[in-house]
Amino acid sequence: MLIKSRPDGIDLPLSSEITPRAIFESRRDFIRQLAVGSIAGTSLYEMANREAFAQTLGAQKMAATLNPAYALIEKKTAYKDATTYNNFYEFGTDKSEPAQTAGSLKTRPWTVTIEGEVKKPITLDIDSLIKLAPLEERIYRLRCVEGWSMVIPWIGYSLSNLIKKVEPTANARYIEFITLDDKKQMPGLRSPVLEWPYVEGLRLDEANHPLALLTFGMYGEVLPNQNGAPVRIALPWKYGFKSAKSIVKIRFVKDQPRTAWNSAAPREYGFYSNVNPEVDHPRWSQATERRIGEDGLFARKRKTLMFNGYSEVASLYSGMDLKKFF
């Protein structure tokens, strides 16, 4: 993706390959603590999560109940990494830029308009949208098409709750997610790296899958702006770019919608973009991935799993050639 040439012809460096010293050093201390067993009676898992939370800087808390069906037993990505290593091109194409520039995004007041092929179109204030269904915490893997991955505790509820409320018509076969498009607040929009606004989409049955999470928070707090505040989608079985951030519009449509990365490079990014280790990106393999936080001494390549390990979605694609509909 970003390994793509920019319109100005400069190839973006893989800044992703460099681990900031502070992160590396805090990890080394953590490993050292583990070695001396300094915290007696604490499981490795708890300690790992304590490390993940240690970096939170007192953003606004968001209460949610962990949904045990999605309580993944994998070490969570450190909060610091999840909030400083971002893809959010509206705020710049470098991984470190969104954390520095997304402060300019005003997330209140904020409305989300639900329109198109629905019997009950509605514009909801973000705080009403948050209250539409009980908030759950779900720990999901996130696999970026670029070959890296994270484990993030999101807060939200199944998108199906909202879909039910607006009553899709018989014509509704796809759903579009449209990101805010405001040059005053999003400096990256001045660069024609993508066609703006950022639009992503799903088939309606995919959108109704319980895994599709309308997301308002992470790590027990409201979403930081760089992670897509005040509302984004999280689709853990698909490459990360399907999960549109800072959504202002959700539109129900008859035909497969235009989507940002598919329009930019249709041979590289398919409409479906399900995580699939057997379908390589034309310019790199998708068979393995690098888990963010496992760099340095502990560098190791993990095997990428079909549907990112979420095999429960397989029935959505039965009978489809996933090499063709990638």
Over the window 233 to 252, marking each residue x when it contacts Mo ion by CB under 5 A and - when it does not, the resulting string is -------xx-----------
Binding mask 67-86 for ligand MTE (x = CB under 6 A): -------------------x
> What number of chain residues touch ligand MTE (CB under 6 A)?
17
When asked if residue 273 is in the footprint of ligand MTE (CB under 6 A), the reply is no
Q: Find the binding residues for ligand MTE in span 123-182 (CB under 6 A).
A: 142, 144, 179
Window contacting Mo ion (CB under 5 A); options: 44-52, 138-146, 244-252, 316-324: 138-146
Which residues are annotated binding-site positions for Mo-molybdopterin?
86, 89-90, 144, 179, 227, 232, 243-245
Contact region with ligand MTE (CB under 6 A), list: 22-30, 163-171, 244-252, 265-273: 244-252
Question: Which region, judged by CB under 6 A, interacts with ligand MTE, from 14-22, 47-55, 235-243, 313-321?
Answer: 235-243
Among 51, 81, 90, 137, binds ligand MTE (CB under 6 A): 90
Among the listed residues 149, 185, 243, 286, the single contact to ligand MTE using CB under 6 A: 243
In SS3 terms, the chain reads as CCCCECCCCCECCCHHHCCCHHHHHHHHHHHHHHHHCCCCCCCHHHHHHHHHHHCCCCCCECCCEEEEEEECCCCCCCHHHHHHCCCCHHHCCCCCHHHHHHHHCCCCCCEEEEEECECCCEEEEHHHHHCCCCCEEEEEEEECCCCEEEEEEEEEEECHHHHHHHCECCCCCEEEEEECCCCCCCHHHHCCCCCCCCEEEEEHHHHCCCCCEEEEEECCEECCHHHCCCCEEECCCECHHHCCCCEEEEEEECCCCCCHHHHHCCCCCCCCCECCCCCCECCECCCEEEECCCCHHHCCEEECCHHHHCHHHHHHHCCCCCCCCC
Shortest Å distance, C-beta 15 to ligand MTE = 14
Encoded one letter per residue, x for contact with Mo ion by CB under 5 A and - for no contact, window 83-102 reads ----x---------------
* String marking each residue 194-233 x if it binds Mo ion according to CB under 5 A: ----------------------------------------
**Binding partner at 162 among ligand MTE, Mo ion, none, C-beta below 5 to 8 Å by kind:** none
